[in-house]
Amino acid sequence: MTTALSRIDAGEFRERIRRRELEIRDAGTEATVREIVVDVQRRGDAAVREWTLRLDGVDVEVTMVDAATKESAWNGLDPAIRNALIAAAQRLHEFHELQVDTENRGAGTTFLRPEPLRRAGCYVPGGRAAYPSTLLMSVIPAQVAGVDSIAVCTPPSPSGAVHPLVAAAAHLLHIDELRVIGGAQAIAALAYGTETIQRVDKVVGPGNAFVTLAKREVFGAVGIDQLAGPSEIVVIASADADAALVAADLISQLEHDPLAWAVCITDDGVFADEVAEQFSQAANAAARSEIISAAAGAHAAAVVCGSFDEALELAALFAPEHLSLQGTRAESFRDAVRNAGAVFVGARSPVSIGDYIAGPSHTLPTQGAARYRGPLSVMDFIRWPSFVQLTDTEFDAIAPVAVTLADAEGLAGHSAAIRARMGAVTRRA
């Protein structure tokens, strides 16, 4: 099997972007997710247990992971892994602490006040694999924001237990509530609550199609961060970039999922051919070559465009989860890029280091959502209620304006409530 990186022009890439936007979701999966969500909402824990048995093939009677299991997992870690988790957690804490906002925003009598959410649910993908990095990336922003109660859900392993790496990461962050529940049933349990699970205010974290569709289904009853799709990387590279490094970065994201995207955009056709050659060699030798090959056949390409202005335009149109700038010319456009979830500049800033320890969360917008949001952050766990406490002088100044607008809208009750206070001194406690 030979894995190749197709070479296309800007016009073909635009067409691929258009087709991405027209992709139709699997109606069968949507129907199943809706059934799961409604069932969990109605029957609670019993439905969670039954769907876990049906979909994951294990009967999990008690979903809560006890403290002893988490501590044992932590103590059983290879010291190198333990130290790596500690180092990553420390750097993530330091980065997210810079986002904390405690000041009211507004005038003295009308303002917004930052308040952390009361309770958040963090979903960590898993099952056969383990992603302790995702636990760190989701939980730490919530903790730094000041969320009092955090519930973490992760799919059961084939034995029905929690993966030791995820349990260890939960122990490191002092997570009291780690539950072995995956898929749509986990999202529904977090959103609506069950007999043993208290409902949350917001659900965050990436997952498979079942998780993503379930988040869309429960939105409104609960807040969500985003609807995450397959991983995406776009590399804008100039001819002096290292083609082997560009190829390595493309492959690093394709190994996630057969539906992942990996695109190199350059204005140099010779360089595009070099990247394609390096890509083929590395992809065929990669440990997850079958996944990479499937993804490359559908969503990987080297795009040759006419200028760097066009390269920036194409990248903004795609709005990738990850955007990498490599090569002197490409890197000079750092401040000109738009519509990217995370931007990595230079050969010493590979996208994959952002998955673990760079600082910002690796939970990022996909499928064009980078046009309107960035990575999961402290701000995702803060609400800003407004407060109004007008002085007599302020009320007297603005009440006539409000009355005029209320009358214009035909809302007599609104107008009357304001008129009742006009010309009178309001008693204050």
Kindly state the DSSP code that residue 378 receives in the 8-state scheme.
G
Catalytic residue flag (residue 93) = no
- What number is the average pLDDT over the span 248-273? 94
Residue 429: the pLDDT is: 42
* Residue given tokens 């996909």 in the structure block: 366
Catalytic residue flag (residue 321) = yes
Tell me how many helices (H) and strands (E) the chain has: 17, 16
Q: What is the pLDDT of residues 325-355, one digit of tens each?
A: 999 999 999 999 999 999 999 999 999 999 9
- What number is the average pLDDT over the span 16-29? 74
Domains annotated for the chain, with CATH where assigned, are 6-24+229-372 (3.40.50.1980), 44-224 (3.40.50.1980), 390-419 (no CATH)
Q: What is the pLDDT of residues 160-218, one digit of tens each?
A: 999 999 999 999 999 999 999 999 999 999 999 999 999 999 999 999 889 999 999 99
Q: Residue 166: exposed, middle, or buried by beta-carbon count in 10 A (0-12, 13-18, 19+)?
A: buried
Question: Among the options 255, 274, 321, 331, which is catalytic?
Answer: 321
Question: Among the options 163, 299, 322, 362, which is catalytic?
Answer: 322
Mean per-residue pLDDT over the chain, rounded: 94
List beta partners, residue 112. 105, 386
Long-range contacts of 190-193, Cβ-Cβ distance < 8 Å, separation of 24 or more: 190/121, 190/123, 190/151, 190/153, 190/222, 191/37, 191/121, 191/218, 191/221, 191/222, 192/40, 192/41, 192/218, 192/221, 192/222, 193/44
High-pLDDT (> 90) share of the chain, %: 88
Cβ contact 7:301 at 8 Å:
yes
